[in-house]
Amino acid sequence: MDFDIDEVAEQINQQLLPALTETIRANASTYSLDRIVIHDSPFEAGRSFDFEKLDGDYAGSLYEWIHLFCLEKTLYELFLNSSQIEEAKSVPAGMIYAPEDDDESYEEIEQVIAELHNEAIVAMALAASGCGISTNAVLSYLEESGLEHLADRISG
């Protein structure tokens, strides 16, 4: 499948980032949050996500939230072929879609997913900060991961 990485990431982020920001704001106004945790998931009633969990397994993480959002809004269709879309749909709960090394457009897909993750981390931290929630855990993760340029965007 042929696609422009930046264009696809931009198209998805136009929907993803406002939805993510609104989810954080809505949860912050409903619950007294001292961490970036979502109690009201738009995907499953009663499902919580710990958006500060940026390392380790994907269950209940920001990454899983992004995966579910892309499934719900059929955004994978922008950059996956039909067999990859079916694979993304069959990913078990608590996991996220990732292409196989030999998949068509493997590197491009990895780049789109990385761009979505990076932009979502920044948007999530900015939204949390705007709600008075500490972003120290996110900033520490970014700095430890060599992503200081993203931490700088959050710290402003």
Minimum mean pLDDT among 4-18, 27-41, 84-98, 128-142: which range?
27-41
DSSP state of 75: G
Which of 112, 142, 98, 111 has the alpha carbon at shortest distance from 124?
142
Place of tokens 């009663």: 46
Q: Please, how many CA atoms are within 13 Å of residue 154, restricted to the half-sphere of its CB? A: 28
pTM over 0.85: yes
How many CB atoms are closer than 10 A to CB 95? 14
Phi, psi angle pair for 37, to nearest 5°: -125, 135
> Is the Cβ–Cβ distance between 118 and 9 less than 8 Å?
no
Mean pLDDT of 46-66: 93
Does residue 46 or residue 14 have the better pLDDT?
A: 14
Sorting pLDDT into bands at 50, 70 and 90, what band is 78? very high
